[in-house]
Amino acid sequence: MKIAVCIKRVPDTEMRFAIAGDGKSLDQAGLKYDISDFDGYAVEVALRLTEKDGGEVAVICLGPDGVQETIRKAFSMGAARGVQLKADTVPFDGSAIAHALAAELRDGGYDLILFGRQSADAGNGTVGPMTAHLLGLPCVTAISHLELADGRGTAHRELEGSAESVEFPIPAVLTIDEGIARPRLPSLKGIMAAKKKTIDVRPAQLGEERLTVQSMALPPERAAGRIVGEGPDAVPELVRLLKTEAKVL
């Protein structure tokens, strides 16, 4: 089984978060980057499938040279091949990204193409299904469970308050939700092997950008809250405030 996983490098905003002077991007100073969380799950799903049934995992990442570090992380987990689709910046518009990925994937002969459900930075969740459409492949999004047998797959999708079981033929495009497979930590052996692997670099054939960032701002601050009191004796006052001030009871 030949599997491609499309991964994204995203800034780690847990440590530091500031908006740049241009008012529409993130201040880059001192930022660290990592693989987008759902994409890590997608890499893990791909590795488990090929460990079970044989085959190979290729990772594809679009962006500037910094993304090679993200590709090497996937190598150290066990990915065999890596492709950088080189672009100075990653567009915000998912359809522009999907065009570049589809061009790379079209003649790749992949049985499965995996994505994370959505990225941790732009959070659009559009690139997977858009790429599937461009490739003419069936697509199932946000899957929490996957089984493959005899050229067909069954996946579960979580809905609000329920879930659906979905059947699809292979080849297919799948986007991966959390809960399906916790990503492994790179092994020492994997890290050593990752250093020896080469990354194919090709220019990204981006589509037209029709969705652009005009400005970026911090969310409105919530009014300062207050500690009503300590221990169970504070409960009646809390209930009074919920009733008369917040009016939510």
Partner 1 sequence: MANVLVVAETRGGELRSVALEVVTAARKAADASGGGEVHALVFGAPGTGAAVQDSLGRHGADLVVAVESAGLEHYDAESLAATTAERLRSGGYRAGFFAASAQGRDLAPRVAAALGVSLASDVTALELSGDALVVQHPVYVGKAIATLRLTGTPALASIRPGAVTAAEAARTPRLETAPPASDPASSRVRVREMLARGDAKLDLGEAPVIVAGGRGLRAAENFRLVEELAAAFGNAAVGATRAVTDDGWRPATDQIGQTGRMVNPNLYVAVGISGAIQHLAGMRTSGTIVAINRDKDAPIFKLADYGIVGDLFEIVPRLTEEIRKARSGG
Q: Which of residues 160-219 bind partner 1 (CB under 8 A)?
A: 160-169, 172, 178-179, 209-219
Q: Do residues 82 and 75 touch, judged by C-beta distance below 8 A?
A: yes
When the beta carbons of 201 and 234 are compared against partner 1, the nearer one is 234
Question: Of 201 and 242, which has the nearer Cβ to partner 1?
Answer: 242
First vs last Cα of the chain: how many Å apart? 56
Give whichever of 41 and 75 is closer to partner 1, judged by the CB atom: 41
Phi, psi (degrees; rounded to nearest 5) at 82: -140, 140
Query: Using CA atoms, how far apart are residues 166 and 146, in angstroms rounded to an integer?
Result: 10
CA atoms within 13 A on the CB side of 7: 35
Q: Does residue 76 interact with partner 1 by CB under 8 A?
A: no
Measured distance CA(158)–CA(117) in Å, rounded? 12
Question: Can you tell me which of 54, 109, 151, 225 binds partner 1, judged by CB under 8 A?
Answer: 225
Taking the CB of residue 28, how many other CB atoms lie within 10 A of it?
9
The 77-116 site mask, x for binding partner 1 (CB under 8 A), equals ---------------xxxxx-x------------------
Q: Which residues, 4 to 33, sit near partner 1 by CB under 8 A?
A: 11, 13-14, 17, 19, 24, 26
Comparing CB distances to partner 1, the nearer of 170 and 191 is: 170
d(CA 1, CA 197): 20
- Which residues in the 37-56 window bind partner 1 by CB under 8 A? 37-38
